[in-house]
Each structure stands twice: as C-alpha cells, then as structure tokens.
Amino acid sequence: MARRTIEITIDAPNRDHGKKFLITELNAQPAEDWAQRCWNVLMKAQGGIDSDMLNQGMQGLTVAALSAFSKSNYAEMKPLLDEMFQCIQIVEKMATRSLTPDDIEEVTTILKLRMEVLQLHMGFFKPAILWIWEMVKKVTENESMRNTSTSAAP
C-alpha cells in the first residue's frame, strides 16, 4: 500500500499565499523513531506526566506536551523540528521538489505545515491536533491583525 500524501495550499493573506506543498507520510520505522525521540525530549523537559493530566485524557496529554515543548532544550528539539520538513516538498507547475530555505517566507506557514505533518502521521490524535491547530490559528489571526494595523498606521 502506498504512503498517504496531502497537498496543502496556503490561503493566508501573506507572502506565502497560493504556495502549494506536498506532504508524504514517512515509513513506519522512521516515524516511530521520530515520535519516540520527540516524546523522550518532551518528557525529560516536563519531568513526566502527573495523574491529573492523565485523568484529563487527550487534552491533558496535549497540555503536557505543549508545556514540555516550551520547557525543552532547543538544541535537543532542533533536529526533530528539522526532520519534520523531510517529508514536505513544494509543488511548482505540476512538479515537486525538495524545500529550500527561501521557499517559506512566513513563520505561520511553518507552523501550519508542522501541524499538517502531525495530522498526517498521527491522525489518531485528531482531537488534540485540532485543539492545537485552533490555538495556532488564533496566534496567526492576531499576527495578521497586528500586521494590518501596523501597515495602516501613518
């Protein structure tokens, strides 16, 4: 069976508007290895998950992961964050190619692509991913409103 793919078009009114990206699911072994290494870094930063968080189900685990992410050592997280982009290609004129540093011009696009990578690989965590995505959208909307008000200022 072929690996799953999704095509993402950036619809935000920014410099990446209209760009298309193809995300291809990793093979099972590299995906599981990445998830295990990520979980280890996050739990090291968090110091474990207490029973209160576990009792909150998926939302509790998501809060724990986000909390751990904010406390994690960037040097340990950076390779994991970089690896997320190995399964993303840019689509140009009906062809795809590997990403270059100049392909993405907005931080919000990076966040959207990271969320889509997680969704493709961990769709079984859909409620948590949707909850995180709603938070990312709020940040994006706030950033867009700030940019609009800044550019409209005399």
Judge whether 5 and 25 are in contact, CB under 8 Å. Answer: yes
Tens of pLDDT, residues 46-67: 776 666 766 666 566 666 666 7
What is the rounded CA–CA span in Å between residue 138 and residue 134?
6
Strand intervals (E) in 26-112: 88-92, 95-98
> Is the per-residue pLDDT at 126 higher than 90?
no
Pick the closest to residue 82 from 45, 37, 141, 29 (CA basis). 37
What is the rounded CA–CA span in Å between residue 1 and residue 90?
24
Residue 13 is classified by DSSP as: S
Average pLDDT over residues 63-89: 83
- pTM of full prediction above 0.75: no
> Is the per-residue pLDDT at 130 higher than 70?
no
